[in-house]
Structure 1
Amino acid sequence: MALTRRPGADHCGIAAAMSVIDGKWKVSLLWELERSPRRRFGELRRLVPGVSEKVLAAQLRELEQDGIVHREVHEEVPPRVEYSLTPVGQRLNAALESLGEWGAKHLLPDSA
């Protein structure tokens, strides 16, 4: 199991988890990867409106380094790259589901 190696993430489980999902688009990317087992870069860019190509690439790279996302390069012309959740990423999404339920119940109007 890959663990984050970010500074300060080793003293608390919450801090470690937050360091992995820290980034404006990461949770949206995790959600889209949960909805479909494999997504291409262009698909993710379309499905997460507002994210720039540069930021998308950087956040996917960080998620890959943290063991949350798997990047598979298919040797074709042109090259095809697909992203998918690792088992660790799937468990992270399961944990985020509870957080989303809490937010919907406590922060969204008319959701009680």
Structure 2
Amino acid sequence: MLNGQKNPSQCQMVVALNMIVGKWKPIILDHLLRGEALRFNELKKLIPDITQRMLTMHLRELEEQDILTRTVYPQVPPKVEYQITEYGMTLQPILTTMQAWGAKHIEHMKEKVQ
């Protein structure tokens, strides 16, 4: 039994969802999946409604899970860049499918209301 779950496949699904669930992680990942390294302030400008604390927290979580790398350059002022890892790139088809489904669901709900 993994994490108190009787069904190991359910546990694996929860692990996968925890990597991408939330208001900000998919948006952060979407920007990083474009392939270029981004500095913290660049990400903050791309996602203006996210707080600095929340962005920091999500970046640390994604780094801990080997989804992105954090590179610190030895200079003053410090330069830090975030980039998706090769392993993190494996999330791209999942997120693309979820985005397509989300668009279809929005349309479905609009048609349902009419």
TM range (shorter): 0.7 to 0.9
Unaligned runs of 5+ in 1: 1-6
Q: Which has the higher contact order (CA 8 A, sep 6+)?
A: 1
The alpha-carbon deviation at position 60 of structure 1 amounts to: 0.3
Q: What SS does structure 2 have at the residue aligned with 1:37? A: coil
Q: What TM-score, normalized to structure 2?
A: 0.81
Larger-Rg structure: 2
Unaligned runs of 5+ in 2: none
Normalized per residue, the structure richer in helix is 2
For 2:47, the equivalent position in structure 1 comes to: 48
Q: What TM-score, normalized to structure 1?
A: 0.82
Segments ≥4 residues shifted beyond 3 Å: none
For 2:34, the equivalent position in structure 1 comes to: 35
CA RMSD of aligned residues (A): 2.2
Counterpart of 2:100 in structure 1: which amino acid? Answer: E
- 1:72 touches 1:81 (CA, 8 Å); kept in 2? yes
Question: Structure 1 CA distance, aligned partners of 2:68 and 2:77?
Answer: 22
Identical columns (%): 40
